Structure 1
Amino acid sequence: MQQRALPDRVKLPFAFDPASLVRDLQTLQGGDWTPHFVPQNFAGDWSVIPLRACAGETHPIRLIYSDPAATAWVDTPQLARAPYLRQVLAAFRCPLRTARLMRLTPGSVIHAHRDDDLQAESGVARIHVPVTTNPDVTFLLNDRRVEMAPGEAWYLRLADSHAVRNDGASDRVHLVLDATVNDWLAGMLRA
């Protein structure tokens, strides 16, 4: 990808069906959520269900880690049980590394931090698709709020400072994709 600076947030031209997203979430909800592996970055319950992971991984923590050195990625058994989430992933015409459902429960906080390897200019774009949220979720990127509604898709440059609070009464769950930036995705981000 050209080294032209992109905005820190880009709403992508997708409108996924919120009810279908929730239906697949409910199918997977009975499974085990794995606590996020960087406890210093949050307080409360921030947990993950892996949908795509590094090939050959079996340990729950390694299944939710987006290893920047990995070269092969595979769908997990959980994704096989989520037909609409498979359709959502197929809408992205770029190589997908990881895909995860990430849940932040009421009263939980993700502290301000940076994920140095997550910027499209370096070749990896993180995309958020909200599944469930509430008006009392605050997502800050570079100290400015990003308001994301269920079914939307957002590129967020998370190499920049970001933090999240769920001050509401319900879970905030996002489908989070790490995508390799190809010409298709680069064009979407520049449009």
Structure 2
Amino acid sequence: MIADFATAPGDGQQASALPDRKCLAPRFDVDALVADLATITGSGTGWTPHFVSANYAGDWSAIPLRAPAGETHPIRQIFSDPTATDWVDTPALAAAPAIRAVIGAIGDPVQSVRLMRLAPGSAIHRHHDHDLAAEEGHARLHVPITTNPKVRFLLNDVAVPMQPGELWYLRLADPHEAVNAGTTDRVHLVIDIIAGDWLRGLLTR
């Protein structure tokens, strides 16, 4: 997996028996997730700008909650390192019981976990992330925490109507993009996993 280091857009959806998106069970407590977000940001934990600046305009930033073991630099902590084999919780996660419950509900091995914020007036340009597909053995899950009606996320040029508290699988090896045309932050809990029987079972159910 080479997560986050995107290349030129692909030609469209991969041929696959698995869907390019799916809202998975269960749904999580939005108020509790919002409270965790407030606790983390209120403690002085800062947002780190996404390191692939060519992929966005405006403010796209992250807070690491689970990072490669031994990393202390903020940029390396928010990088979902494809070569890492040992992942550890960051101090910010200790004060977030609702987020820990989400992670605990994931049935496949969890690697990177981040809060990712797309500020008002910001956009993620169309791109794709190599090998972030269940078919390739690695996947990225999204749980929206805060959003607004003017946020739009497109995968293979089709909108994905993600709502707070929902758990979504997205095949991000396919072309995708996002824009926040609203006046409030869009914050997602983003979880990278080794895709195994748990995720495949949900996608084929």
Q: Give the structure-2-normalised TM-score.
A: 0.90
Mapping for residues 113-152 of structure 1, pairs under 5 Å? 113-152=127-166
Q: Deviations over 1:59-98 (max 9, x none)?
A: 1111000011111111111101111111111011211000
Mapping for residues 96-111 of structure 1, pairs under 5 Å? 96-111=110-125
Query: What runs of 5+ residues in structure 2 fail to find an aligned partner?
Result: 1-14
Q: CA RMSD in A?
A: 1.1
What displacement does 1:155 show? 0.2
Mapping for residues 63-102 of structure 1, pairs under 5 Å? 63-102=77-116
- The count of corresponding residues between Structure 1 and Structure 2 is 189
- Structure 2 distance, partners of 1:83, 1:95, is 19
- Structure 1 distance, partners of 2:156, 2:197, is 27
What displacement does 1:126 show? 0.6
Contact 1:68 1:117 in 2 (8 A): no
Q: Quick one: percent identity of the two aligned structures?
A: 62
- Structure 2 distance, partners of 1:10, 1:16, is 16
- Secondary structure, aligned partner of 1:170: coil
Contact 1:128 1:153 in 2 (8 A): yes
- Structure 1 distance, partners of 2:199, 2:154, is 24
- Secondary structure, aligned partner of 1:187: helix
Query: What runs of 5+ residues in structure 1 fail to find an aligned partner?
Result: none
> In the alignment, which of 66, 75, 99 is matched to residue 52 of structure 1?
66
Aligned twin of 1:153: 167
